[in-house]
Amino acid sequence: MLKAAFIAFLNDETGVAAIEYALLAAGIALVIIVAVNTVGSDVNDTFTSVSNGLN
């Protein structure tokens, strides 16, 4: 009984697609966060340069 339930659990692929989509969304979110931080730093440096040039 327990062995059959364990084998059925291992063969069950329900929810696998949801986990894959969650991992994909997490990866995309990580790429967006890194890109925004990089661009944000560059924009901050540009505004600092302009501010220093005006002073």
- In tens, the pLDDT along 37-50 reads 989 888 888 999 99
Residue 12 DSSP code: -
CA triple 40-44-49, angle to 5 deg: 150
| Average confidence score pLDDT of the chain | 89
pLDDT surpassing 90 at residue 31: yes
Distance (Å, whole) CA 26 – CA 19: 10
Q: What is the pTM of this model?
A: 0.58
**Could you give the residue ranges of the DSSP H alpha helices within the chain?**
2-11, 16-54
Query: Residue 48 has which token pair?
Result: 């600092």
